[in-house]
Amino acid sequence: MDMLLLYVLVLGGTLFHAGSNVSQKFLLNKEIHGEFVMVVTAAGAALVGFVGSFAIYGFPTIHTGFWIPFGITAILGVGIQYLSVRSKQLEDVSVVTPLASATPMFLILMSWVILRESPSLWGRFGIALIALGAYILYLGGTQVPLPRILGQFLPRILHEPVTYWGGPWLRLFSSKGARLALLQAWFGAIAISFDKLVVTNSNPLFRTGAIFAVTAVILYAYSRTRGVWQGIPKNGGVFWLVLLIGVAIGITDVLYNFGYYHGFAAYVGSLKRTQIFWTVILA
């Protein structure tokens, strides 16, 4: 029963996740300022968390094990955003995104180290399938030269398939951007494990509110200090539309968080990757 609830909650969250992805892209294509979108969507998600937490749980009960995991996952969240942008600046997106999708595989190790959770053999097999599926969906087929040593040992007939399917991994030897993308995947696996500790030491809704509130404040302050904040567009309807997308993001995160009550963090983190499939269909 717990696993069934895990599937319903997390897979339901992926539908909201995919919808918010496509909606954000639509707004950015309409030349709505990117940092405005990031700040307002984060604020909308925080609103969902805080209002929902107060409505269901009343004043939140925060246990002593909350603050350290919260601080770690908040810092890692900022680091993940930085690595995501920086890796794309240094390397082709068709190399970066497949490597960044390796998070589910790293989760098997990190969830055991941090939470002492160990998925079953079939669970590990499922996690590996999801990671492989995400890798293939993101694979762009960027031409990557085969390292000379490897080229000497491999039959020539294998050169083309190896460079196609393994191209992102081959770029790790020569590309800082590729290495940063893999580091992003590691950070993601660590953050998901600490996310579960944040949820179990508060509640799923409060975790969403707290994390997204911190994100909104940091992004807003960073935008203002750089002098690029453009404020709310004159068309007030745009603000409410962006806020509504933030609400969808908040619902997404809450559903993911409730999943932690019904299964291992590695399962939740891996199932979240199925949003890629829905995003492809909706896009």
114: nearest Cα among 75, 62, 73: 73
Quick one: pLDDT at residue 52? 94
270: nearest Cα among 168, 166, 125: 125
144: nearest Cα among 119, 125, 162: 162
Answer yes or no: are the C-beta atoms of 264 and 123 closer than 8 Å.
yes
Quick one: pLDDT at residue 155? 79
- Give the predicted TM-score (pTM) of the model: 0.81
Question: For each of the chain's 283 residues, which pLDDT tens digit applies?
Answer: 578 888 888 888 888 888 887 777 777 676 677 778 888 888 999 999 999 999 999 888 888 889 999 999 988 887 887 787 678 778 776 677 778 778 888 888 889 999 988 888 888 888 888 888 777 776 765 566 676 767 667 777 777 777 777 777 777 777 788 888 889 889 989 999 999 999 999 999 999 999 999 988 888 888 888 877 776 666 667 888 888 888 998 999 999 999 998 888 888 888 888 887 777 777 6
H helices, E strands: number in the chain: 14, 0
Cα 60 from chain centroid (whole Å): 26
What is the SS3 assignment for 101? coil
With a CB cutoff of 8 Å and minimum separation 6, the contacts of 92 are 140, 142
Give CA–CA dist 78/166, Å, rounded. Answer: 29
Give me the half-sphere count of Cα atoms (radius 13 Å) on the Cβ side of residue 280.
10
